[in-house]
Amino acid sequence: MLKTAGWLLPAIVALVGCSSSGARHGQTLSQALAAIGHDKALAGASSGVMVRDADSGNLLYQAHADRRLVPASNMKMFTSLAAFDILGADYRFATRLLTTGKQRGDTLQGDLYLQGSGDPTLHPDDLDTFAAALAQRGIRHIQGRMLLDTSAFDKTPFGAGWSWDDEPFAFAAPISALNYAFTPGGDINVVRVDVLPGARAGAPGRASFYPANDSVTLVNHTTTGGDTALTLERRPGSNRIVVSGTIAAQAETSSRLTTVDQPAFVVGALLQNALRAHGITLRGGIEEAVTPAGAQLLAEKTSPSLSRLIVTFLKVSNNGYGEILTKAMGHKTQGKGDWASGLRAISHFVQNQGIEAGAYRQVDGSGLSRMNQITPQQLTTLLLAARKQPWFADWYHALPVAGEPELLVGGTLRNRMEKSAAAGRAHAKSGSMTGVSSLSGYVDSATGRPLVFAIISNNYLVPGAEVKALEDRLVETLAACDATVICR
Whole-prediction pTM value? 0.93
Angle, helix 319-334 to helix 339-352, in steps of 10 degrees: 80
95-130 per-residue burial string, b: 16 or more CB within 10 A, e: under 16: bbbbbbbebeeebbebbbbbbbbbbbbbebebbbeb
Q: At what angle do helices 464-480 and 29-37 cross, to 10 degrees?
A: 170
Q: Which residue has the higher pLDDT, 16 or 331?
A: 331
% of the chain beyond a pLDDT of 70: 93
- Residue 29's pLDDT band (cuts 50, 70, 90): confident
Distance of alpha carbon 99 from alpha carbon 387, whole angstroms: 46
pLDDT in tens, 61-70: 999 999 999 9
Indicate the pairing of strand 146-149 with strand 112-115: parallel
DSSP one-letter code for 181: B
| Contact predicate 20/480, CB 8 Å | yes
* Three-class SS state of 278: coil
Domains located in the chain, CATH noted: 2-89+307-480 (3.40.710.10), 94-155+263-303 (3.50.80.20), 190-259 (no CATH)
Q: Chain-wide mean pLDDT for the chain? A: 92
Q: What is the largest CA-CA distance in the chain?
A: 84
Q: Which of 487, 387, 370 is nearest to 65 (CA)?
A: 487
Task: Indicate the pairing of strand 450-458 with strand 436-444.
Answer: antiparallel
**Cα–Cα distance, 369 to 227 (Å, whole number):** 36
DSSP, collapsed to helix, strand or coil, labels residue 209 as strand
Q: Edge to edge, what strands does the sheet with 46-53 contain? A: 59-63, 46-53, 450-458, 436-444, 426-433
pLDDT tens digit sequence for 278-337: 999 999 999 999 999 999 999 999 999 999 999 999 999 999 999 999 999 999 999 999
How do residues 381-432 score in pLDDT, each as one tens digit?
999 999 999 999 999 999 999 999 999 999 999 999 999 999 999 999 999 9
Give the active site residues.
73, 76, 317
Q: Quick: pLDDT tens for 92-102.
A: 999 999 999 99
CA angle, 183 as apex, 182 and 185 as ends, to 5°? 130
Q: Give the per-residue pLDDT at 243.
A: 97
Spatial separation of the C-alpha atoms in residues 148 and 289, rounded to whole Å:
6
Segments in 364-450 forming alpha helices (H): 376-386, 392-397, 407-410
What proportions of the chain, in percent to the nearest 5, are helix, strand and coil? 30, 25, 45
- What is the rounded distance in angstroms from the CA atom of residue 335 to the CA atom of residue 332? 6
Residue 305's CB is within 10 A of a number of other CB atoms, namely: 16
Residue 40's pLDDT band, with cuts at 50, 70 and 90, is confident
- pLDDT above 80: residue 31: no
294 phi, psi to nearest 5 deg: 90, 5
Give the model's pLDDT for residue 23: 53
What distance in Å separates the CA atoms of residue 31 and residue 311, rounded to the nearest whole number? 36
Q: What are phi and psi of 374, to 5 degrees?
A: -140, 175
Nearest to 325, CA basis, from 70, 84, 114, 116 = 84
The secondary structure element, H or E, covering residue 92 is none
Q: One-letter amino acid identity for 229?
A: A
